[in-house]
Amino acid sequence: MIKKDTFTLSIYIKNMFFKRLLVAVILLSIATKSLAWGREGHHLVAEIAFHYLDDKTKDAVKHYLGKMSIEDASTWMDDNRGNNYYDYMKTWHYINIKKGEKYSSVKEKNIVVILNSAIKLLEKKETLSDAKIKEYLLMIFHLVGDIHQPLHNGYPEDRGGNSIEIESPIYSGNLHSFWDTQIIESKGIGVDDCIKLYDTYSKEQIEAIKKIEVLKWMYQSRTYLDSAYDFKDGKITQEYIDRNAVVIKKQLLIAGLRLAAVLKDIFGNENNAQAATANSLPVTAIPDAPAIVETNPKDIKTIDINDAQNHIGETIKVCTKIYGGKYNESSKTAPTLLNAGGEYPGNPLTLVIWADKRAEFKNAPEVFYKGKDVCITGKVQMYKGKPEMIITKEEQIELTTGSTTTK
């Protein structure tokens, strides 16, 4: 009898463990989706914008995007959010303002600051490199979408709805994620649904919508917060979903029209610098990615490449051989991957060169470094259980003679 009870208790404990593990996985999945419109929403904004653009502007935008599609451009900031290298952009997706309060300048970079500055800086694109133009363009593609999701302009006490758990006929999770993806997917909202709303606006209303006024865009989105919070005890009804699906369609259309207006203002025939005079928000320098290599080389340890996994978060130096690599042109973020210290998948370290940094290299890295002895300096991070190092400039990979080669 004791053995039976012990067995039953063991089964119970295992079941509870797996249930809790499942909950944790679900919550983690929700958390990773709670940063912006889902992929579908951002794609819709980009597609709507291009629907209303002239060919000249489209061609200019495509020139700077290169092989990247407008859909991939619209989600670039989210596609990189799982990479610690881009953590400095985390606060750029949103702004939190207490209910009833007005916007005020703060040191923290938020969506209003970054989006407004990216637009104004691009209006002087003749002073920028092609790489910078593309970088700011990717920010604009994404953040114009984000600022039109009302909960990206929400309240600090619940982190824009991320801390509010809800139940609905289609989804149980947090309110922010519900607005990001669930309503769009459940109602099957598409480009045609949004474009149909265009004819419900007068010519004067359309012209007013297209004015490039980032601060007003934020305030306009916040007018829908009362509707977003219009439920009781965490229970979302079908009526709520139907009502707010109309709001979301309007916001997606408006975001698309405004993205088109920005792109035309910057790249089109009528570059009349609307944004430069449309509001009094100051232009701030947009931070560059943090330097991977520390300034004092004396503080950097040289380690055996096989010990890289024990130095996560540290900037180190390894001397080894590059056994090959791959340029994933078809990937959303198009990284170049180099296998350091061994053949894939047994290599103890992967070097990652993101698409926006590949242009910094004189030669194709996957071809140039293959088979060569090198010393590599950078910060080690873990990705899917394997150490990797983000390479942002050519100087991080030094060609050597007689360097230690790990086979």
Judge if 168 and 305 occupy the same domain. no
**What is this structure's pTM?**
0.68
Judge if 347 and 240 occupy the same domain. no
For residue range 185-195, what is the model confidence (pLDDT) as tens digits? 999 999 999 99
Judge if 217 and 321 occupy the same domain. no
The CATH number given to whatever domain includes residue 323 is 2.40.50.140
Q: Given this model, what pLDDT does residue 19 score?
A: 44
Q: Is residue 15 part of a domain?
A: no
Judge if 54 and 147 occupy the same domain. yes
Q: Is residue 39 part of a domain?
A: yes
Q: Is residue 291 part of a domain?
A: no
Tokens 């947009």, residue? 286
Domain range for 258 is 34-278
Q: Given this model, what pLDDT does residue 401 score?
A: 65
Q: Is residue 18 part of a domain?
A: no
Judge if 155 and 233 occupy the same domain. yes
Q: Given this model, what pLDDT does residue 115 score?
A: 97
Q: Given this model, what pLDDT does residue 350 score?
A: 95
Judge if 356 and 318 occupy the same domain. yes
Helices 130-146, 238-267: axis angle to 10 degrees equals: 150
Q: How many domains does the chain have?
A: 2
Pairing of strands 315-327, 301-302: parallel
Judge if 303 and 370 occupy the same domain. yes
List beta partners, residue 320.
Answer: 374
Judge if 268 and 301 occupy the same domain. no
Judge if 100 and 195 occupy the same domain. yes
Q: Is residue 110 part of a domain?
A: yes
Q: Looking at residue 19, what DSSP letter applies?
A: H
Judge if 269 and 338 occupy the same domain. no
- Report the phi/psi class of residue 384: left, alpha or beta, with left for phi > 0 and alpha for psi in -120 to 50: left
Q: Is residue 14 part of a domain?
A: no
Contact 381, 316 (CB under 8 A): no
Q: Is residue 274 part of a domain?
A: yes
Question: In the chain, which residues have pLDDT < 50?
Answer: 1-4, 6-9, 12-14, 16-34, 271-273, 275-278, 292-295, 403-407
Judge if 310 and 237 occupy the same domain. no
Contact 398, 370 (CB under 8 A): no
Cα separation, 218 vs 199, in Å, equals 24
278, 310, 342 - which closes a domain? 278
Q: Is residue 20 part of a domain?
A: no
Judge if 268 and 317 occupy the same domain. no
The CATH number given to whatever domain includes residue 66 is 1.10.575.10
